[in-house]
A and B are shown apart, each in its own frame.
Chain A
């Protein structure tokens, strides 16, 4: 298993993302989807980055995906793994891989959601091998 979990700083919500962080506090992971072009995107925005429509909505993610790339930060008091995970919904997000053996991680590996507590803020979506 991994070493001591690094303390995760709290995210700072903006008016655009308050609902997202309220949801993680309630145990739900949302992605933003455009109802005009149908595409999900990341990071969540009010305005679709593909068609510039403002007809975007929150949808609950299945919380499953695969590792697109990752790197274990060794030069840190508590090593940690950052990663891009491609969600099964089709969008790729920056995240941490947690509660796992960092030396066994592989690109393409299936992962599932873990909401990790932060220092004084809402939890952030992280992933662990499925």
Chain B
């Protein structure tokens, strides 16, 4: 049993807002749902599956199903942080393949910017029943310093430099200049990044993603539904998922769950990293991108620094165009969860609807990958491979 070819992404919509103080969270979820339905040419009544994660208000999917007044026969609210929405596409494809639904709606939305959250630099206790909290929260673990420890170890083991990490931000900024909705549209240099204030050694301010309000939605549909619509056909051909943690104390920060989720996705799709024309790579921090590129097999372990340097991720310049919307580093990281925008930009690329300045020519196979939670403690990893038909 495989999901290869069993489902298509027929609708994709990114909310243009980056600051939404005058809208509720449920309203933002509804607005992105409207956007994705309009994009696909479907209506609310076509939706028979609904997927969301922890950013949705209410208990799992219940409040949003009720707010939208959906009549669905399949729901899934698996929450693996920012990687949830890539995993939702895979789970929706599984459900469609099993006949459990035909049109699956996935929504993400959030307003951390309006709510003034110190998202990445403030320790958060979370749920005290979570067994690790008592052994981590007192020490001031934040999003930023948990990722920073991964970067520190990578530098120690492989000689990776801050300048190499900076190239990832530089590439994202080259793409963001063409995106009118991007939060940060100025092209930056390696010097700009390494001279920006230190947040958590060795990560500087410009190694970190933006904090934005907004959201996005996707519609994953059965083949006969996709073929009845007027949109270009974007087929799901492979997926993998793999949570990774501290391994019982045998901590190893040199690799991520992408090692497993990527291998599974490539095996199912029957393609190799060299077949990928465009990659959406989760960019909560520059180090996140570096780790994933290595673990997904775009370069050997430890070679990520050399791989990303000198503009190799810039569309039209380098070998692997990535995050052509500007990514989380420059464009958008709605709800502090960037997974859905990763899929959306990959869909734009496969349809030939990316900005002309960054559109990859003959983009027939694309990958999207998400890392959710904290790379340095425990994280979710989800890989998706899509093909233009």
Q: Interface residues, chain A, CB within 8 Å of chain B?
A: 6, 8-14, 16-17, 21, 39-45, 48-50, 68-76, 80, 82-84, 86, 91-96, 107-108, 118, 124, 126
Contact = CB atoms under 8 A, between A and B. Distances in A.
Nearest to B245: A49
Q: Which of A40, A42, A44: most chain B Cβ within 10 A?
A: A42
A49 B248 contact: yes
B135 A69 contact: no
B133 to A, nearest CB: 7
B125 interface: yes
Contacts, number: 127
A49 to B, nearest CB: 3
Contacts of B141: 82, 94
30 contacts: A10-B138, A11-B134, A12-B134, A14-B129, A16-B131, A21-B134, A39-B248, A43-B131, A43-B135, A43-B249, A45-B131, A48-B248, A49-B248, A49-B249, A69-B149, A69-B153, A71-B149, A71-B151, A76-B121, A82-B141, A82-B146, A91-B248, A91-B249, A92-B251, A93-B249, A96-B140, A107-B152, A118-B138, A124-B138, A126-B139
Nearest to B152: A69
Nearest to B247: A49
A45 B149 CA distance: 24
B251 to A, nearest CB: 4
A41 B248 contact: yes
A17 B153 contact: no
Contacts of B20: none
Nearest to A8: B138
Contacts of B377: 94
A80 B156 contact: no
B246 interface: yes
Interface in B116-144: 121, 123, 125, 128-129, 131-142, 144
Interface in B130-188: 131-142, 144-146, 148-153, 156
Contact of B134 (A14, A82, A83): A14
B16 interface: no
A25 to B, nearest CB: 14
The 5 A-B residue pairs whose C-beta atoms are closest, nearest first, are A49-B248, A42-B249, A91-B249, A71-B148, A92-B251
Contacts of B140: 6, 8, 73, 76, 80, 82, 96
A103 B372 CA distance: 30
Contacts of A75: 121, 144, 197-200
A31 to B, nearest CB: 9
A94 B151 CA distance: 16
B59 interface: no
